[in-house]
Copies of this chain bind each other. A is one copy, B any other.
Amino acid sequence: MNLGVAKIKKQNVRINFERLKRTIIKSSQIGTIPGDGLCRLALTEEDKIMRDIFMEWMDEAGLKVKIDDYGNMYGRREGLSDLPPVLVGSHLDTQPNGGRFDGIIGVLAALEIIRTLNDNNIETLRPIEIVNFTNEEGARFEPPLLGSGGATETFDKDFIYNRKDREGKTFEEELSKIGYKGEMSNRVKDVHAFFELHIEQGPVLENEQISIGAVEGIQGMTWLELKVTGESGHAGPTPMSLRCDALMAVSKLIVHIEKKAKCSDADTSVTVGRMSISPNVVNSIPKEVIFSLDIRNKDDAVRELLIEDLRKELQEISKVEKVKLEIKDLWEVKASYFHPGLVKQVVSSAKECGYSVKRMVSGAGHDSKYINQIAPTCMIFVPSVGGRSHVETELTLDADIEKGANVLLLSVLEISNNKKIDELNKESLPSY
């Protein structure tokens, strides 16, 4: 095989940001909502328009396009061998009040890489496939990650096809309606490596003025629901000494939860995001408070120990406060660990370009979570201004998108010329 072309040009090749920017602007015109945002829910007319354009772009770039039975779109650029391909991509759907970058830059940068390789006549040992996964956001059909979860058989077909939106329309109906129900045989499989460029959706990179995050994995997560029951009563005639005030008790529980989390580990995060109070009247002592607790850590053992401690300690506080505490398990997701060899590659690609880079962990779920179950995977993060995402004002600066796309290009190039993934990395899993 002749690998000479790739080897020679790899060092200096860079993406064409002006061209990438044009694709981002084009995408930003499909599903536009006031305030510079996008509403491009999965399998809607807007999604179809975006898919059609993306299909056209893939055709123009000479890619061989396939659609699988979940509507995931793949475009393949052949390699010099028929070894398993390197997969690159993310998703083109958005939240109802979403931004212009979440997922989108991961797909469009993948396309830009193909165009750049074409411009430079670079051939790779392995094929490269770019991908747009269906319904990553889960904003229309719950849960999120249905496309990547389907392709990796995390969810079965019946489950996915029968997911309904708020109007009762099923995933399958809507997928057929927009003309993107493809073949099961087209599902992604036998992948050498997967890269996903994505906005950070948090404030860490911006805060530390770093351009590139080399993502080592995705935090594990537990969702609990805590129900605290006290006694109601009229705010006037009930002296505080005779009350069992559910909200006063909950305030102490939350203060304790935060304190405990801060003592646990700098990477632990806890969030009480949802709360309901009953009867919720100015002059009635709250009888019942129900609140959610989201606990995350990159290390499952740390998270589990924290939860075990909290279960005991919150009961003790509740006893002192004379209220009843019930804890319900809502959801648990184990931590994901990306491939250390690929993480190392991202770091070294960033350094090669002279960009600042930081190893970090993703707090949010991504398609990479499921693809990681079937293939070595790694994500590349670029900064989110103000840490904002899932809002119209979501923003990643041009310079950062360009850097992220270049790191993606160099990483994909390197790995697509690699015969076996294991040759590249002899390291063990990271110690976290």
Contacts and interface: CB of A to CB of B under 8 A. Distances in A.
Contacts of A273: 235, 247, 277, 279-286
Given A251-B254, A282-B292, A234 B272 contact: no
Q: How large is the interface on A (under 10, 10 to 19, 20 to 34, 35 or more residues)?
A: 35 or more
A415 to B, nearest CB: 25
A118 interface: no
Nearest to A363: B236
Contact of A207 (B232, B240, B242): B242
A203 B255 CA distance: 29
Contact of A262 (B204, B240, B365): B240
Interface of A: 200-204, 207, 219, 221, 223, 232-242, 245, 247-248, 250-252, 254-255, 258, 261-262, 266-275, 277, 279-286, 292, 294, 296, 330, 362-365, 384, 387-391
Nearest to A285: B271
A254 B240 CA distance: 14
A245 B292 CA distance: 15
Contacts of A251: 250-252, 254-255, 258
Contact of A239 (B221, B236, B269, B292): B269
Contacts of A266: 239, 241
A239 B204 contact: yes
A150 to B, nearest CB: 22
Contacts of A365: 236
Given A272-B247, A272-B286, A294 B235 contact: yes
Given A255-B252, A274-B277, A275-B247, A237 B200 contact: yes
B248 A254 contact: yes
B202 A234 contact: yes
B272 A248 contact: yes
A212 to B, nearest CB: 15
* For the complex of A and B, 9 pairs with smallest distance between CB atoms: A202-B237, A236-B363, A235-B271, A237-B363, A251-B254, A236-B364, A251-B251, A282-B292, A201-B237
B387 A237 contact: yes
Nearest to A219: B236
A204 B237 contact: yes
A23 to B, nearest CB: 25
A288 to B, nearest CB: 12
A296 B387 contact: no
Contacts of A254: 247-248, 251
A261 B365 CA distance: 44
A236 B273 CA distance: 12
Nearest to A275: B277
A210 to B, nearest CB: 14
A241 to B, nearest CB: 7
A250 B275 CA distance: 13
Given A235-B296, A237-B389, A273-B286, 13 more contacts: A202-B233, A202-B236, A204-B237, A204-B242, A232-B391, A237-B363, A238-B387, A242-B387, A247-B254, A273-B277, A273-B279, A273-B285, A275-B275
Of A202, A223, A274, A282, chain B has the most CB atoms within 10 Å of the CB of: A282
Contacts of A280: 273-275
